[in-house]
Structure 1
Amino acid sequence: MGGPRLLRRGGRHPRRRRVRHPEEREQAGSQDAELTGAAMRWTLPNILTLARICLTPVIALLPFIQGYWPKVIAFVIFLVAAFSDVIDGYLARRHNQISELGQLLDPIADKLLLFATLIPIFWLTRHPTILVDYRIPWWGSFPVWVALLLVGREVLMTAFRFFAKRRGVVIPAVGAGKLKAVVQNVFIGATLFWFAWKDALATHPFAGWFRNFWDQFHGAVVALTLAGAILLTVYSLGVYLYRYRQLLK
């Protein structure tokens, strides 16, 4: 009692913990939350989604430029954008980086990409020139009712998902919806390349078995994937509405 206090090795007194005031703890917690929120906003998946949104006007404008190279570039950019949609979702799930911002931006990016590609497809197939005929084999011009169907389905599903979320129900993608997206993207990519192929033939005309084969094969891919996209658009919408029909009551 009253003797000298024992010192730690090195002759230092034991350090006392600083007790934080409740207001300081609350402020520190809010700062940590802000930093975490900022980090979740600028994750790689969200950056890829934003990049996809920024690329959509480029894809929409390039096919209107004369020549085949702009259309080839539009085709390549579309492939990059389509694959980035798969990659950002995989990265978000793999690294636990799913955020509210990503859930908001991803469907917006998908819709913008669809609209950006349907605009040149609709216009070019309905306005063939003297040198280049962009019309789709077996279909001719891109039908107005098909454009309304594809766009209307996306708008309706977005509204339905928002309505379901307000009622506490999250509607995930079903197999039919995923297959529809794949077939639809194949159609869009094949059509953009079809435009480039037609421009290339107008610039560098040639004949032979390869041209005849590719015309038949490529044209069949474009026509069949368009038919498949239409059927899957209607079918997948029916699957969603039937599976979540209780929400409509």
Structure 2
Amino acid sequence: MAAERVWTLPNILTLARIALSPVIALLPFIEGWTPKLIAFVVFLAAAISDIYDGRLARERKEITDLGKILDPLADKLLLFATLVPIYWITHYRMRTYEIPWWGSVPLWVALLLVGREVLMTVLRQVAKRRGVVIAAAGAGKLKTIVQDIFIGATIAWFAWKDLTATFGWHRGWLGELWDRFHGIVVAVTLATAVLLTVYSLGVYLYRYRRLFAGGQPHGAPGDGT
């Protein structure tokens, strides 16, 4: 029996996402707008790779057991690596990086976003042992998109605040307009991500409720969050 190929393009993209997670986590803590802007660009690249690695694996017929393990791991690491600096910076440097309407990211929000992913991982493992594959729901996919927009916009918000402090761009009408618009995007996507997190989790729990009773829910093959 031929050995499974490990160094496929999708797996390399996933491994790159894992390797970039600590970089994204550390850069926002460095003073100045440049590290934060780099963190935004790196996160953008990582988020895009998350979209294409699974698609490439299916199109190139390079779905591997290693990829099935690494992809969800990479997703969790990237989420954790971005939420930690976002939570810390908005809490302990709130005067500089205050999020409109929210002030800082509440602890319960950070725990909700991370906890949902952990719970879904457990649920998928339980389902897998019973021969059921939990397919990605539309609400889950939308949640991921909005969540990524929030994370990217927030990291960019940190860079913008440092830029305005350095160059005084917020003093002009254009700077004030962008500051207001950017802040609203961060605040709204955070609120939307929270709502979709709760809603999508409820959808999964209801759809696969028979798992908890030992039954066989109707599940279609698929992946995703």
Q: TM-score range by the shorter chain?
A: over 0.9
Q: Report the counterpart of residue 90 of structure 1 in structure 2.
A: 55
User: How far does residue 208 in structure 1 lie from its aligned partner after superposition?
Assistant: 1.1
Q: Which runs of 5+ in 2 are unaligned?
A: 214-225
Give the whole-Å Cα distance in 2 for the aligned partners of 1:208 and 1:77: 29
1:203 corresponds to 2:166: yes
SS in 1 for 2:151: helix
1:240 corresponds to 2:204: yes
Give the whole-Å Cα distance in 1 for the aligned partners of 2:67 and 2:206: 27
User: How far does residue 205 in structure 1 lie from its aligned partner after superposition?
Assistant: 1.1
1:216 corresponds to 2:216: no
Q: Report the counterpart of residue 180 of structure 1 in structure 2.
A: 143
1:146 corresponds to 2:109: yes
SS in 1 for 2:134: coil
Q: Report the counterpart of residue 231 of structure 1 in structure 2.
A: 195
Pairwise mapping of residues 1-249 of structure 1 onto structure 2 (< 5 A)? 30=1, 33-34=2-3, 37=4, 39=5, 41-128=6-93, 133-206=96-169, 207-249=171-213
The range that moved more, 169-178 or 77-86, is: 169-178
CA contact (8 A) 1:137 1:223 kept: yes
Aligned-residue sequence identity (percent) comes to 68
User: How far does residue 100 in structure 1 lie from its aligned partner after superposition?
Assistant: 1.2
Give the whole-Å Cα distance in 2 for the aligned partners of 1:168 and 1:99: 19
Larger Rg: 1
CA contact (8 A) 1:111 1:154 kept: yes
Give the whole-Å Cα distance in 2 for the aligned partners of 1:128 and 1:114: 21
User: How far does residue 104 in structure 1 lie from its aligned partner after superposition?
Assistant: 0.8
User: How far does residue 211 in structure 1 lie from its aligned partner after superposition?
Assistant: 1.0
User: How far does residue 202 in structure 1 lie from its aligned partner after superposition?
Assistant: 1.0
The range that moved more, 168-177 or 65-74, is: 168-177
Give the whole-Å Cα distance in 2 for the aligned partners of 1:201 and 1:74: 18
Provide Cα deviations, 1:72-97, integer angstroms capped at 9, x if missing partner: 00000000000001111110111111
Q: Which AA in structure 1 matches 2:211?
A: L
How many residues are aligned here?
212
CA contact (8 A) 1:176 1:236 kept: yes
Q: Which AA in structure 1 matches 2:188?
A: L
Q: TM-score, normalised by structure 2?
A: 0.92
Give the whole-Å Cα distance in 2 for the aligned partners of 1:122 and 1:162: 29
Q: Report the counterpart of residue 13 of structure 1 in structure 2.
A: none
Give the whole-Å Cα distance in 2 for the aligned partners of 1:187 and 1:57: 19
Provide Cα deviations, 1:184-211, integer angstroms capped at 9, x if missing partner: 0000000000000000111111311111
Q: Which AA in structure 2 matches 1:222?
A: V
CA contact (8 A) 1:126 1:142 kept: yes
Provide Cα deviations, 1:26-81, integer angstroms capped at 9, x if missing partner: xxxx4xx12xx1x2x11100010001000000000000000000000000000000
Q: TM-score, normalised by structure 1?
A: 0.83
Q: Report the counterpart of residue 7 of structure 1 in structure 2.
A: none
Give the whole-Å Cα distance in 2 for the aligned partners of 1:42 and 1:168: 28
Provide Cα deviations, 1:150-174, integer angstroms capped at 9, x if missing partner: 1110110001001110111111211
